[in-house]
Structure 1
Amino acid sequence: MLGEQMKKIKTFEQDFPVPRTHCGFAMGNGNLGAMVWGAEKLHITVNRADFWDHRGGECLLPDTTYDKLKRAYDPGDRSKLETQFVREEMPDGVWKPSRIPVGRFEFSFKNKMRPLKGVLDYGTGSLIIKIGNSDKTSGEIIITVGLRENLIYIDDKADLIDAVITKPSWEFPAVVEHLSKLKFNPPEIVRRDDISGWIQACPEDPSLASICRKTPNAAVISLELGNNNMEALNASLKSIETLQSAVPAFKSGIEKWWKSYWKKAPEINLPSEFFNKFVKYALFRFACATHPFSPIGCGLQGPWIEEYQRGQWSGDYHFNVNIQQIYTLAFASNNLEHLIPLFNMLDGESYQKVMKNNAKVLFGIDDGLLLTHAVDDRGYQCGWISAGSTLDHAVGGWTAQLYWLYYKYTLDKEFLKKRAYPFMYGIMRVYEEMLEEHDGRLSIPVSISAEYGATFDGGRAQNAGRDPSYQLACMHMLADALLESSEILDIAPRQIWKTIKEKVPPYTLIEKGGEKKIAIWEGQDLDICHRHHSHLACIYPFDSLGDWTEEQKEIIDNSIDHWILKGMGQWSEWCMPWASIIHSRLGLKDSSLLLLEIWKEVFVNEGFITVYLPKFRGFSARRREDIMKPRESNEVMQLDGSMGGATAIYEMLLHTKNNTTYIFPAVSAKWKDVSFKNIRAPGAFLVSAVRKNGVTEEIVIKSLKGGRINISVPDCPRMRLIRKSGSSDISLPSPIDMKASETITLTVS
């Protein structure tokens, strides 16, 4: 049966004690985040994605020009380039924009009862907590998070809750030390009648009130912002009061939304209990982190920031791989509307202002967009304008690909015209300004390959060079997208886009021992184990090579072997799904699964959450000292690993490469029986397929908009095509034209 196993997974369950914040049940609405965990008491760690200390945000300042950077560049000395960046001196107590840890609420229960088991009901989006003594359940509470409201409703019909204990983040030493340096004051504690909580003021940003009201049969938690403490408190109290008179509508609206979400989500059936369970929970967390009703896009940690330490990497938007990894899951999982809050943020006034400023300062143009590496929710760089944060223009290019893929998966021409094309155009204008004639080709004189750094004798280092392969692949992807968009929209393309296709090489080569392979940049081999697989971006994510020539196949084989030889000792949780996808795109079926199996053991914790650092020492040498620290006070979650892992599973089942959609392209020989239902493909197609005993038996394709899909099934050179009008045998790969709403079936010929 198509997707039968995943369809059967109706709950995600954990027995208590659930020992740490990031083992907890994750709930949220894109803005409000809650993690539910605990032992003797029930803990609910809370945060809001829009609760920021915005001080210290940077953008490019006048006199930081690309011409100056080019003149200063020395291949053997990174410092000469870095000194050319004009930077603002920050006053004492200002660090960089950062999300702020909030705290948690703890609930004790009557008669010395404690939480025994948590059951997350996917169908309703509610979390049921079984309460009792030892193994005897005496009752339950039900936790629900609002869709648009920043509210957590706890249904306590049996009146089991005894007390509410507040734990603002100021009760944790690491947070006190951090926020004190930034001139924060301790929160104002609120305790009166049935109300408890705290209000955290900020030096320049709005205050946040975190308030819980307990009644005999319920508790409600509200997180609201205000211009000052009193405004924030009043807003929280008002939202609680409003909810208490509309609980049935609140709960039914949430249940209706979740039922709709699961109705369109793909279903998969894998011969792996872990991966079936993992993908289902990842889809739940994806909805909680990227909710289409959210006023804000999803950052590195989604709406979930732990209470015991400062937000890692500021909880910011890392656009050099991480945000893209999170949101790419929207495409195959048929959740395109979840991209809209991200696009709204990027197209908003603040982001556009900052990106246009950066392009104007660096290149003197008025129609360019330059997005820097790690930014806040307004588009300002979170710490240290530098070559690494500024000269990685694939940051904007890979983000532009999200816009392009949104069009490809929806065929929404209005979106292409008003949003995707203008964003891609602005990003490409920066690439155009970087180019110069060099040795008979168009060349980027100086740029970076994401976070790669070369070191030399004498302590010298370099993180930039000519023609990084990463940037060349991104530029080709953008040129292809813009040329195709121009044809769709009947707009005359810029001549430079055609010239880029003709005169920009697909990658930079390095030759050693008579063997050619893809270089990091001109003259720079992959000399170290590196967590960013950026130099292989022509394979994935940019798929920029078209039909591979025999020479390109050999170059790629050489490059992959060299990459493998450098090992995984510096990889983190998001690196391995990316690597698995590259293996899948190359048809390396068993290794793509093996990478995810290793990843599962090393980077997925007890709560099915991906953590940045390995769970134990011995696999990775990255941040050894931090690996050895207690996880209770140091564990770091990043959402990119979980969403990247789910995407990597979908890639094994179906992916589109060079405009051909491959069915079961990278399913390991270990997985004999596999099926899936309604994975979305470019062109607005929903694809379902069954594989039994290692052989593809049936494929069902539904066209939502009408059009052509090119199909390839690696283990089936011929199949029978069945339509309402009749059937015929066809050879594969083959293009198939379909009408809107038409469904076809392919069976073993």
Structure 2
Amino acid sequence: MAIVKEKGMEIGSRDFRLDFPIRRVHCGMPMANGDLGVLIIGEGRRLEIVMCLASCWDHRNSQRFEKPCPYDELIAAWTPEDASPVSRRLIEASTPLNDFGGVSWRGTRVPGGRLVLHLGADLKHIRLAYGTGMVAVVTTAGEVHLGLTPGRNRLYVLDPCRLVTSTTAEPMWNRLSALFESVGYQPPTDKSGSGQVGWFQPCPEDPGTLAILRQTSYGYCLVAERSSDGDEQSLDGWEDWPAAQQSIASWWADFWRRQPTFIVPETFWNDFFLLALYKFGCATMPGGWAASLQGPWLEDYQRPPWSCDYHFNVNIQLIYTLAFATGNFQHALPLFDMLEQEEFQAVMRSNAKALFGIDDGLLLPHAVDDRGWQVGGMGAGATLDFVCGGWTAMLYWNYYRYSGDQEFLRRRAMPFMRGVMRVYQSALREHEGRLSLPVSISAEYGCSFKVRHNGRLVNQNTGRDPSYQLACMHVLANALLEGSELLGEAPDPFWRELKERLPHFTCIGEGAERRVAIWEGQDLDVCHRHHSHLAMVYPFDLSGELNEEEQAAVSAAIDLWILRGMGQWSEWCFPWAIQIQARRGFQESPMLLFRIWKEIFLNESLATAYLPRFQGFTAHRKDDMLKPKETHEVMQLDGTMAAATALLDLLIHERAGVAHLFAAIPKTWSEAEFRDVVFPGAFRISARRAGGKTVFCQVEAPQGGTLRICLEPGADIRTVTMKPGEQLRLV
């Protein structure tokens, strides 16, 4: 195994290369700064810059509650065989949808378009230099170089060989005019003229996209900004390449100095992990826009899938969890900043007020725009999934746990967690001598298929005490109790009551067949891509407080989960399953799942495609699999980031408060290594495995504290207490 430097990643001259032709948008070379997203494709002598602004939204037909919808009335309306009375009441209390001549339209991100460079030589390959963040386009007669500035939407195109013979602009209107005209859009204004090409695409009620590619002394510069009127006079920075070059190089050098090192024998995964870190840096750059389903990279050939919105029932959490073990805490701040905007907070409080009549609750729905308005409908599946707020609250909590920033805990994490818990507190009722959640969901179970009730198939996506919700409440209560103790604040007595009177999860079956249920009376009857009912394993680790009987129920549920198979899983389901298996002590199957995932869901440029690449293994969206990828491929960022997090989990993860090293790697991996991985308590851990044994482990404790660690599977748990700034070698 290679020996890595003592701290951080040594990136050196490592690069990522793709060969032309590259015809599909999501096979392109990615570049981004948290707002301007760029994918570079091309063939022959045509080089295309496919661009989009993460900040450009059409907010029309986003929804929120406009009148009260008391939760008690939803409880009264609920029947075990039909979810529609509950959803109907929720929809009736929401803002009405405008009619666009029969076209279903919701709030959505708006695609950008393409700037095309016509070259005097044939394209060969494209190369990303990780260390500098620069991209080189190699032709038969020389190279074109591209650099995107952090903090400013300026893409500099250096053409020292004068390879570019002409440029053209292709706004998204060229491919999607019929759709966008049908919902009230006007055609773009052509901004082409002397030495430049571009467009201004207005939005009906929001700022539009202004994109201009202008010739400069060194080549070209693409400037893209949101604009209300398309006025280009305020645009600048065209000739600022020397300063931009320094900014780009400095930002990426600093980024790579902070990254952990990950090395395993199958070198493909080392390369994938590196690319995932790069994409994470691009998509979540501090000072940029919060990353949504596709981050800043949105195609211009189809309507944005799921509005390219913020899916808070799993997807956004899968993207941002990578920030913590990698030490990229500040990359989570754009998400928290969005959630704490005045309008976003007002919407969440209004939701809580509408359902529960409280003023201090935060109810975060399932699929929202950048203001918190719902864009995925207002039914039960969207508004009664309180884990959307709960899992997001755990992002806040983990920011503190990994960084140790008590000021963040005091000012930002605790207020958000309290607001989410107030929703749960208001929803719980007395039932059979315990606390109970009368009506809620287990993420998307029954939303797109019928469930079995008393031997009949019925339309039902809600029930009493979903295990997903109960597990979330427990970890949220744990966080609030610990947080209040750390800050010297008095805890709310309800938090302790919840711990004492709420089950960890709901069960079904008797004796040896007793297992975790979806909700009361609902078994896992079908293959389901949301592993929500197993949330007490991950992401809401309760393993340290489950008794023997509960552990047996979890094991039985996992057996049934395996039996139901993977036939409906999508690209982000596999990493989540791997993380569950890793925490249950599975050593061989996690990497087997990774290898299957690689073949099914990674496209030619290692982007995670939502739709399987071929038929035969999973039937999820099987009709869409047959559609041409050139016009129907969907990329989602959650699969990439969840996979990178799961790869780290193979080498080090937390279980019941213990750092478990090399716990989920196959026996054939006698060697593996990681360095500078952050662990809760702000510890930084490095370790190396050789000859099937852990031969090196070093812990740094910038803030001091007590660490519990298991150096390899089957080893005893060691407890070490360290002083602030101490470094300790355990092996």
**Same fold, judged at TM 0.5 (above):** yes
The residue identity in structure 2 corresponding to 1:91 is: N
Identity percentage of aligned residues: 45
The answer on 1:738 being equivalent to 2:722 is yes
Q: Contact 2:214–2:222 (CA<8 Å) still a contact in 1?
A: yes
Deviation at 1:83, TM superposition (A): 1.8
Question: Among residues 475, 478, 496, which one is paired with 1:477 in the alignment?
Answer: 475
Residues 602-642 of structure 1 deviation map (CA, whole Å, 9 limit, x = unaligned):
00011010000000111111111110011011100000000
Q: Which residue of 2 aligns with 1:341?
A: 334
Written as runs of structure 1 = structure 2, the 5 A alignment for 1:353-364 is 353-364=346-357
Q: Which residue of 1 aligns with 2:39?
A: 35
Q: Which residue of 2 aligns with 1:192?
A: 193
Q: Which residue of 2 aligns with 1:120?
A: 128
Q: Contact 1:51–1:99 (CA<8 Å) still a contact in 2?
A: yes
Deviation at 1:253, TM superposition (A): 1.1
Q: Contact 2:130–2:278 (CA<8 Å) still a contact in 1?
A: yes
The answer on 1:92 being equivalent to 2:99 is yes
Written as runs of structure 1 = structure 2, the 5 A alignment for 1:146-545 is 146-172=149-175, 175-215=176-216, 217-229=218-230, 231=231, 233-235=232-234, 238-239=235-236, 242-244=237-239, 246-294=240-288, 296-453=289-446, 454-455=450-451, 460-511=458-509, 514-545=512-543
Deviation at 1:715, TM superposition (A): 3.9
Pick closer, same or farther for the CA change 1:181–1:455 going to 2, 3 Å: farther
CA distance in 2 between counterparts of 1:169 and 1:207 reads 12
Deviation at 1:9, TM superposition (A): 6.8
Structure 1 gaps of 5+ residues are 133-137, 718-731
The residue identity in structure 1 corresponding to 2:321 is: T
Q: Contact 2:694–2:712 (CA<8 Å) still a contact in 1?
A: no
Residues 266-288 of structure 1 deviation map (CA, whole Å, 9 limit, x = unaligned):
01111112101100000000000
The 3-state SS of whatever aligns with 1:221 is strand
Deviation at 1:388, TM superposition (A): 0.5
Structure 2 gaps of 5+ residues are none
Question: Among residues 671, 676, 696, which one is paired with 1:698 in the alignment?
Answer: 696
Question: Among residues 110, 114, 117, which one is paired with 1:107 in the alignment?
Answer: 117
Residues 230-289 of structure 1 deviation map (CA, whole Å, 9 limit, x = unaligned):
x3x334xx22xx340x21111111101101111110011111121011000000000000
Q: Which residue of 2 aligns with 1:649?
A: 647
The answer on 1:71 being equivalent to 2:71 is no
The 3-state SS of whatever aligns with 1:83 is helix
CA distance in 2 between counterparts of 1:46 and 1:304 reads 7
Pick closer, same or farther for the CA change 1:459–1:579 going to 2, 3 Å: closer
Q: Which residue of 2 aligns with 1:709?
A: 707
Q: Contact 1:56–1:383 (CA<8 Å) still a contact in 2?
A: no
- Between stretches 89-98 and 624-633, larger displacement belongs to 89-98
Residues 372-403 of structure 1 deviation map (CA, whole Å, 9 limit, x = unaligned):
00000011001321100000000000000000
The residue identity in structure 2 corresponding to 1:179 is: F
The 3-state SS of whatever aligns with 1:589 is coil
The 3-state SS of whatever aligns with 1:191 is coil
Q: Contact 1:506–1:545 (CA<8 Å) still a contact in 2?
A: no
The 3-state SS of whatever aligns with 1:37 is strand
CA distance in 1 between counterparts of 2:36 and 2:653 reads 33
Deviation at 1:589, TM superposition (A): 1.2
The residue identity in structure 1 corresponding to 2:18 is: Q
Q: Contact 2:216–2:238 (CA<8 Å) still a contact in 1?
A: no
Residues 585-608 of structure 1 deviation map (CA, whole Å, 9 limit, x = unaligned):
111011111111100000001101
Q: Contact 1:45–1:105 (CA<8 Å) still a contact in 2?
A: yes
Question: Among residues 36, 46, 49, which one is paired with 2:51 in the alignment?
Answer: 46
Written as runs of structure 1 = structure 2, the 5 A alignment for 1:610-649 is 610-649=608-647
The 3-state SS of whatever aligns with 1:123 is coil
Pick closer, same or farther for the CA change 1:524–1:715 going to 2, 3 Å: closer
TM-score by length of 1: 0.94
Q: Which residue of 2 aligns with 1:720?
A: none
Q: Contact 1:66–1:363 (CA<8 Å) still a contact in 2?
A: yes
Q: Contact 1:704–1:740 (CA<8 Å) still a contact in 2?
A: yes
Pick closer, same or farther for the CA change 1:403–1:437 going to 2, 3 Å: same
CA distance in 2 between counterparts of 1:299 and 1:543 reads 25
The residue identity in structure 2 corresponding to 1:54 is: H
The residue identity in structure 1 corresponding to 2:152 is: E
The answer on 1:17 being equivalent to 2:21 is yes
Q: Contact 2:111–2:298 (CA<8 Å) still a contact in 1?
A: yes
The 3-state SS of whatever aligns with 2:698 is strand
Deviation at 1:526, TM superposition (A): 0.5
The 3-state SS of whatever aligns with 2:322 is helix
Deviation at 1:331, TM superposition (A): 0.8
The residue identity in structure 2 corresponding to 1:107 is: L
Aligned-CA RMSD value: 1.5
Deviation at 1:548, TM superposition (A): 3.9
Q: Which residue of 2 aligns with 1:576?
A: 574
CA distance in 1 between counterparts of 2:552 and 2:366 reads 33
Deviation at 1:716, TM superposition (A): 6.5
